[in-house]
Chains A and B, each alone.
Chain A
Amino acid sequence: DIQMTQSPASLSASLEEIVTITCQASQDIGNWLAWYQQKPGKSPQLLIYDATSLADGVPSRFSGSRSGTQYSLKISRLQVADIGSYYCQQAHSNPYTFGAGTKLELK
């Protein structure tokens, strides 16, 4: 199975700050990587697919990047609406696997 190592597990940041979350895949998954945001008490929502493509309706302050088997989600200017948990997911092959998640809080 492909392992997704996500870091950090938790993150405290200030409004307007740049935030970066990373996921390391245990093997080559190409661009088969998605990012999700989950707000407290809500279902997860797709943010990024194909490693770098923004899902419909997602603000442009979110971006995804890839360097080899390391993937990053960047929030360029943190807003209150961005508070929640973030998960990466490899979509390369079954069994699909998620990172352990990053809980993002306001400082």
Chain B
Amino acid sequence: EVQILETGGGLVKPGGSLRLSCATSGFNFNDYFMNWVRQAPGKGLEWVVQIRNKNYNYATYFAESLEGRVTISRDDSKSSVYLQVSSLRAEDTAIYYCTREDYYYSSFDYWGQGVMVTVSS
């Protein structure tokens, strides 16, 4: 059974930074691209970042709104992916979901339960 579990959310002051972790199990993590998608309270879904697998040299792609403030990495030995967001703003307040990207169709076929990040003084 595929499982995805995000941790690391919480309350952060504006200008601060946060590191989110995403632990996975139940599939061959090395084969898959992983993504983060976020959802501000009462709003729609916003794609944040993708990290590809070793075959693609762990290439990363970012949403323009976050580029320069976001770092994504993965540890294939731990089947985990990590998201660091710096210079946090109130508009970064959202639930952050870790998702697995389907190998062939690039849809997000599995999602974690999400982790809440609140940026407030």
Contact = CB atoms under 8 A, between A and B. Distances in A.
A97 B109 contact: no
- B interface residue count range (under 10 / 10 to 19 / 20 to 34 / 35 or more): 20 to 34
A101 B105 contact: no
Contacts of A89: 45, 47, 107-108
B111 A44 contact: yes
Contacts of B108: 34, 36, 44, 46, 89
A50 B82 CA distance: 28
Contacts of A38: 45
A34 B110 CA distance: 13
A49 B113 contact: no
A21 interface: no
- A interface residue count range (under 10 / 10 to 19 / 20 to 34 / 35 or more): 20 to 34
B97 interface: yes
Contacts of B102: 49
A73 to B, nearest CB: 13
Interface string A88-104: 01011011111111000
Interface of A: 1, 32, 34, 36, 38, 43-46, 49-50, 53, 55, 85, 87, 89, 91-92, 94-101
Interface of B: 35, 37, 44-47, 50, 61-64, 97, 102, 105-109, 111-114
8 closest Cβ pairs, A-B complex: A91-B106, A34-B107, A49-B107, A94-B61, A101-B44, A96-B47, A43-B111, A98-B45
